[in-house]
Amino acid sequence: MNAKQDSGNPNLKQKALSGLAGRNLILVGLMGAGKTAIGKLVADKLKLPYVDTDQEIEAAAQMTIADLFEQYGEPEFRALETRVIERILTEGPAIVSTGGGAFVNPVNRKLIADSGLSLWLKADLETLWDRVRRRQTRPLLKTENPKQTLKNLMDARYPVYAEAEVTVLSRNVRKETVMRDVLKALAALHDRNEGAAHDQDAG
């Protein structure tokens, strides 16, 4: 069964929704991991709203994130980010993509754990670099050696991202393939819960 057929499988969709269990699905990971692209595809397949926290932050501040960083600094941006995330999560369930630093904040991790399921889209350095190197909208990469900066961010953040409840590899394949992997990961939660319920009944 190919990716298109598999992701269109009604049984897979229903299992994925059951695994999500009415919660928000929050995609975390570094810039370039594909959170926006994959999030939109997953939302479309599961017929759930899609929300991008960076877009919501820009709408609230009425300026770009790059301008926010430049004019107010990262601490003010992070404070606004937390307020926006808290609002979004109370309006769910939805598929939510977050900025690369959002999950690093323990306050945000608590908010996410309380009302959603965290999923890390994990990519290697070369994949990330290939995706972000031509973009001029990444304030954290405006350094003399942006690739090394990206590597430093990986080293600092990947141990925190690893606390996410689910991990899916983001790699250089069709976006639909990664979307299918997300659905399968959610469906696996359904199967795990079903198995636990069966074991409890048997006991």
Residue 36, annotated as binding a ligand: yes
19: annotated binding-site residue? no
Known binder of ligand: residue 196? no
**Annotation-wise, does 99 bind a ligand?**
no
Q: What is the DSSP letter of 99?
A: -
Name the maximum alpha-carbon separation found in the chain.
Answer: 61
CA–CA separation, 2 vs 155, rounded Å?
A: 35
Q: What are phi and psi of 97, to 5 degrees?
A: -100, 140
Q: Is 78 known as a binding-site position? A: yes
Residue 54 annotated as part of some ligand binding site: yes
For 158, the token pair is 């990947």
Give all strands (DSSP E) within the chain, no chain letters.
24-28, 50-52, 95-97, 116-122, 166-169
Query: DSSP per residue over 136-185, as a string?
Result: S--GGG-SSSHHHHHHHHHHHHHHHHTTSSEEEE--SS-HHHHHHHHHHH
Ligand-binding site membership of 171 (annotated): no
Asked if residue 37 belongs to a known ligand binding site, the reply is yes
Question: Is 114 one of the annotated binding-site residues?
Answer: no
Q: Is 195 among the annotated ligand-binding positions?
A: no
Query: Does 197 belong to an annotated binding site?
Result: no
For the annotated binding site for substrate, the residues are: 54, 78, 100, 157
For the annotated binding site for ATP, the residues are: 32-37, 138
For the annotated binding site for Mg(2+), the residues are: 36
For the annotated binding site, the residues are: 32-37, 54, 78, 100, 138, 157
